[in-house]
Structure 1
Amino acid sequence: MAELFGIVAAALSVAGLFNNAIDLFEYVQLGKHFDTDHQTCLLRLDIARLRLSRWGAVVKIEADPRFAEIDPKDEEVRVAKRILEQIISLFSLSYSQSVSLSLPERENTIASLESFTNTNGMQELRDSLRTLTRRRRRSSSLSNKMSWSLYKRKHFSRLLDDIRELLDGLETTFPLRKEYQQLAEADLSQYNDEQSLRALSGAATHADQILSSVAEQKLKDLVGSVNAVHKATVSGSAYVRVGNSSCLQEAAYLRSFNATLNRVEVLEATGSSTAIVGNHYAQL
């Protein structure tokens, strides 16, 4: 298994580590305990992968000779190599967590592809993101026949959180915010429907703030004021309102404000509570 995770990292250039790290994202599958969140969780992983590929494109990892060195002299490139090695180590750990379960445990939590529906075209959206990513990397030294499943949500959440922190480190080491922003805008230029932009904006919130903000802006430009609750549970006499409101009668008053975006992923209202997702305008 050493060759799978690039444990022989000392023999790889920074560009080689980058290509291996990009490919490892595709090896991860999820068990059936993820249920209806299956596609959404994988979309978050796809977005993190796209973010890594965006970094590689911005720093010109395939063209800059510094990244072709196995033992780079440039300090920034040395930091990048350590971070990429850590990303690969995270996937190695996730593999170990998968195989550490006993066979009965794995069989009880395995998910068949047929058990998940293509909710709101999520698979097509994921496929398009993968196409973007693949254009930015060369073939790696990894086997394309391997995959493993994560069966516990805590393992997936930790993997995604740790990857996000490492990607933050890459972008901090190479502070090219304007270039990252421009490429994120180019990546999302093909998405002009509300459904895709909502999915991207929500899934990118904890994985890629730049992409999330670009998706949110496109969504605001597309539909104006957007107020949404992804999942809501209301009980008792609780009151929930989603949308902007005004104490004035003139509809033009509301339209005079800039577009707004208020989004709640999970909302639970009980008892006599009141929850408002949106803006309320009053003339002072």
Structure 2
Amino acid sequence: MSGLTALSAPGLFLTGVRYFELIQLGRNFQDDFGICVLQLRHVQRRFYRWGESVGITDQESPAYRLATHDRSDDLDLVDETLEAIVEQLSRAQKDAAGYARRLTKTSLGNAVEELDILDEDAQLASDTSIGSRSATRLRNSRVGKAYRRSLHFGDVLTGRTQWALYKKTEFSDLLTKITNLLNELEKALPGKLEDVARVDAQQLLVDQDGVEAPAEEVGTIIDVSVNTDPVFSAALNSITAKHGHVFESMIYKGYARAHNGDNYATIPIGGVASSGTYRKIVAGGNSRTHLGNNYGYAQQSSLLLQEDHSARNSGSEDSIPPAEGLAEDL
């Protein structure tokens, strides 16, 4: 990518920030918009968190220079990885623009509707699914907002055209590639990554007024972040394991499938897992519910999680599909 090699790591990082700030999603994402936004914003925050953990604030970034003193070998890998992340974002933007041009030239009417861009604020506000509520929880929390403001990129973005992803396959492919690159970036130069992730987790779980996030939303965020943001997921699990969850006044009807608890691929080190308190849980009809944690849970290989829209929580809200083999509700 011409010109990028002349940029320092802070410059490459801030270029990546600008790409992330301008991403939107097209009409094809409407059915599971909340989950897709949640995945996208997890990856975005993970990228920003790395910058925060190593002290990047601007192009010069003296804190970053101090954090990387005498680490020339690591810096070469950091520069290469940041350049690869920016390259992936740039390529995705160009591919999406090319797709839009081709579709506009060769199609009429209803096909062009595929290029409609979904307004993130309006879409999340009008959708009561657990995915959208969880995405709204992450967006409205204090997570990363102070650092985001410190970058002062608002003026740079003024007048820039937002860009959209139109296909779910390209969306999943982009997030997978960037997630893999972030794994390399964090390994090469972790900085204060775990400390920043712990603060993020605390700010998500309890807002500035001391109100705790609903357990169902936290559970969905953990499920998604296991794939997209494992350091953050571990921080959330660590805190919730100490404080536990409270599930109260939940109703499952019809063919609802529900799991109220956490998922663990293996039994946590030391045998410590999250606790749960259950009050006024009602299940009827042909619904199946699981109260408690799952152990030996197999994570989905795809980044794109599918919601079960036939499952209703409290009569109107989507519940989370359970793992296979849950016992019938009594």
TM (norm. structure 1) is 0.70
Structure 2 unpaired stretches of 5+? 207-212, 248-253, 262-272, 276-291, 300-304, 309-323
Tell me the residue number matched to 2:17.
22
The reply on whether 1:37 has 2:50 as its aligned counterpart is no
Q: 2:326 aligns with which of 260, 268, 276?
A: 276
The reply on whether 1:218 has 2:239 as its aligned counterpart is yes
The reply on whether 1:90 has 2:88 as its aligned counterpart is yes
* 8 Å CA contact 2:242, 2:274 repeated in 1: no
Give runs of aligned pairs for residues 145-224 of structure 1, distance below 5 A: 145-175=160-190, 179-190=192-203, 191-192=205-206, 193=213, 194-224=215-245
Tell me the residue number matched to 1:12.
7
Tell me the residue number matched to 1:107.
113
1:216 Cα deviation after fit: 2.7
In structure 2, how many angstroms separate the alpha carbons of the residues matched to 1:9 and 1:172?
A: 22
1:136 Cα deviation after fit: 5.5
In structure 1, how many angstroms separate the alpha carbons of the residues matched to 2:92 and 2:176?
A: 13
In structure 2, how many angstroms separate the alpha carbons of the residues matched to 1:242 and 1:139?
A: 41
Tell me the residue number matched to 1:80.
78
C-alpha change, 1:66 and 1:142, in structure 2 (3 Å) is: farther
Alignment coverage as a number of residue pairs? 242
In structure 1, how many angstroms separate the alpha carbons of the residues matched to 2:172 and 2:238?
A: 27
* Letter of the structure 1 residue corresponding to residue 5 of structure 2: A
In structure 1, how many angstroms separate the alpha carbons of the residues matched to 2:49 and 2:147?
A: 8
* Letter of the structure 2 residue corresponding to residue 214 of structure 1: A
1:211 Cα deviation after fit: 0.8
CA RMSD of aligned residues (A): 3.7
* 8 Å CA contact 1:204, 1:212 repeated in 2: yes
What is the identity percentage for the equivalent residue pairs of Structure 1 and Structure 2?
A: 22
TM (norm. structure 2) is 0.61
For residues 24-44 of structure 1, the C-alpha deviation after alignment (integer angstroms, 9 at most, x for no partner) is: 112111111112321221222
In structure 1, how many angstroms separate the alpha carbons of the residues matched to 2:14 and 2:151?
A: 6
In structure 1, how many angstroms separate the alpha carbons of the residues matched to 2:216 and 2:149?
A: 24
Structure 1 unpaired stretches of 5+? 1-5, 227-232, 245-256, 269-273, 278-284
* Letter of the structure 1 residue corresponding to residue 22 of structure 2: Y
Q: 1:126 aligns with which of 100, 121, 139?
A: 139
Q: 1:261 aligns with which of 285, 289, 293?
A: 293
In structure 2, how many angstroms separate the alpha carbons of the residues matched to 1:68 and 1:174?
A: 8
Farther off after superposition, 123-132 or 257-266: 257-266
